[in-house]
């Protein structure tokens, strides 16, 4: 049995976190829409409404509070793409010590600004998380400076585990779904659930482009990826630790991977049905819930929305992807005789059905076209697949050859 993190550690962390100005008890809402889609009773844990927009303050505060209790620490250093950075910054400022956070140069400006706003000094180094990590570890050059790892630390895991106690008190459930990056969050929650409700199934979810746990479990050692590729930057660590792997092996029942497309659809669904704006990592649990790989029929399910620090540029990218997938944004290619008035005629057909034209262009230099022919390429907005099909059918009924694809 793994004794590096015990339930007693999590209970002690909860006592340290008994301050609503640092970590608040986040609400729970039942989602009838998700319940209908999955034939289950679905509850959403709104941890994205935490002060820093994610669960990370729990672990960071527990760790730094212990350092302060032990004495001798004057500064903490951390590496993060955003959420851990904000948690460390808030915890350090609250506890009265300095914090230096190293972030990749590509980190969203909103997360950089928020971290500075919580009182930390921010250094932008390298193009990825690993480069930031290497630089940050090099800054720990005296006994008064401590490194605060995002997940490879029992105190961090215990702090995240306080969320498990809270979720247990919120609702009796059959299955809990938790996103996984480095594994600190699910390790803490699963340890708490194993003590309080051993019959509850704990399911972890990773983004397909950053999935390390399945391979790590197969090989029995932590596996690190050379690169990651996912919109869920909050869980794109590209690796786990021996600590978190051992806790996952011991307490987690199932691992699901989801694609970026599934995450994007879940994010949009949460906005439309639950009226909640979350980041990709926060939507991963709902993506797993809706996945064919997870059966929750007849169960009471807890999906954890772990973070809400969504960059506006990423929001735009995700929305376009999701709307395209639904055919609410569609590209039409219409073959015409290249003469005056043809664009107006086709545009009128589209407009008559209430579809909006976003862009249009002429393509004349295409090998299969005859002399005097052209393609009109429209990007249009529709209300969905049925509406799109009606527009296409009407254009064909007027004698035009038309093909379509997702924009």
pLDDT digits (tens, 9 = 90+) for 322-378: 888 889 999 999 999 999 999 999 999 999 999 999 999 999 989 999 999 999 999
Share of the chain above pLDDT 90, in %: 85
Residue 175 and residue 282 in one domain: yes
95 vs 404: which has the higher pLDDT: 95
In this prediction, residue 28 carries a pLDDT of 98
2 lies in some domain: no
> H helices then E strands: how many in the chain?
15, 14
CA 26 to CA 52: how far, in whole Å?
A: 12
Q: pLDDT band for position 1 (50/70/90)?
A: very low
CA 293 to CA 372: how far, in whole Å?
A: 52
* Chosen domain end from 147, 167, 193: 147
Token reading at 50: 């935490």
Residue 283 and residue 241 in one domain: yes
* Chosen domain end from 322, 355, 387: 322
Q: pLDDT band for position 233 (50/70/90)?
A: confident
386 lies in some domain: yes
Q: pLDDT band for position 320 (50/70/90)?
A: confident
pLDDT digits (tens, 9 = 90+) for 196-219: 999 999 999 999 999 999 999 999
In this prediction, residue 3 carries a pLDDT of 65
Q: In sequence order, what DSSP letters do the residues of 159-212 get, joined into one string? A: HHHHHHHHHHHH---SEEEEE-SSSHHHHHHHHHHHHH-TTSEEEEEEEGGG--
Q: What integer is the mean pLDDT of 309-332? A: 87
CA 178 to CA 45: how far, in whole Å?
A: 10
Range of the domain at 224: 7-54+154-322
What is the tally of structural domains in the chain? 3
* Chosen domain end from 114, 147, 180: 147
Q: In 21-174, which ranges are E strands?
A: 28-31, 41-45, 75-79, 98-103, 121-124, 145-147
Q: List the CATH number of the domain containing 308.
A: 3.40.50.1100
Residue 43 and residue 100 in one domain: no
Q: pLDDT band for position 106 (50/70/90)?
A: confident
Token reading at 266: 């879940």
pLDDT digits (tens, 9 = 90+) for 9-46: 999 999 999 999 899 999 999 999 999 999 999 999 99
């Amino acid at each position: 049995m793994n004794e590096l993190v015990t339930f007693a550690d999590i209970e002690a962390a909860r006592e340290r976190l008994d301050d609503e100005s640092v970590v608040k008890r986040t609400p729970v809402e039942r989602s009838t829409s998700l319940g209908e889609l999955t034939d289950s009773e679905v509850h959403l844990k709104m941890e994205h409404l935490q002060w820093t927009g994610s669960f990370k303050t729990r672990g960071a505060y527990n760790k730094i509070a212990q350092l302060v209790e032990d004495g001798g620490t004057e500064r903490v250093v951390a590496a993060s793409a955003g959420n851990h950075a904000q948690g460390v910054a808030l915890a350090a400022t609250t506890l009265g010590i300095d914090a230096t956070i190293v972030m990749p140069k590509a980190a969203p400006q909103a997360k950089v600004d928020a971290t500075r706003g919580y009182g930390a000094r921010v250094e932008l180094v390298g193009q990825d998380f690993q480069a930031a990590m290497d630089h940050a570890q090099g800054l720990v050059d005296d006994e008064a400076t401590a490194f605060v790892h995002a997940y490879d630390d029992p105190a961090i895991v215990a702090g995240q585990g306080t969320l498990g106690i809270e979720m247990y008190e919120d609702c009796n459930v059959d299955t809990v779904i938790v996103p996984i990056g480095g594994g600190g969050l699910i390790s803490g929650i699963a340890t708490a659930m194993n003590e309080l409700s051993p019959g509850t199934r704990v399911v972890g979810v990773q983004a397909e482009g950053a999935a390390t746990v399945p391979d790590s479990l197969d090989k029995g050692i932590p596996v690190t990826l050379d690169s990651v590729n996912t919109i869920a930057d909050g869980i794109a660590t590209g690796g786990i630790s021996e600590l978190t792997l051992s806790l996952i092996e011991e307490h987690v029942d199932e691992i699901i991977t989801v694609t970026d497309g599934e995450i994007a659809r879940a994010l949009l669904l949460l906005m439309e049905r639950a009226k909640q704006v979350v980041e990709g990592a926060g939507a991963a649990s709902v993506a797993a819930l809706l996945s064919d790989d997870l059966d929750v029929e007849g169960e009471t399910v807890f999906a954890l929305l772990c973070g809400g620090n969504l960059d506006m540029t990423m929001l735009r990218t995700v929305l376009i992807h999701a709307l395209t997938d639904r055919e609410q944004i569609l590209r039409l290619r219409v073959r015409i005789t290249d003469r005056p008035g043809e664009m107006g005629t086709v545009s009128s057909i589209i407009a008559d059905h209430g579809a909006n034209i976003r862009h249009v262009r002429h393509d004349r230099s295409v090998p299969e076209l005859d002399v005097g022919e052209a393609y009109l390429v429209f990007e249009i907005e529709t209300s969905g697949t049925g509406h799109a099909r009606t527009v296409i059918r009407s254009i064909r009924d007027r004698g035009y050859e038309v093909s379509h694809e997702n924009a």
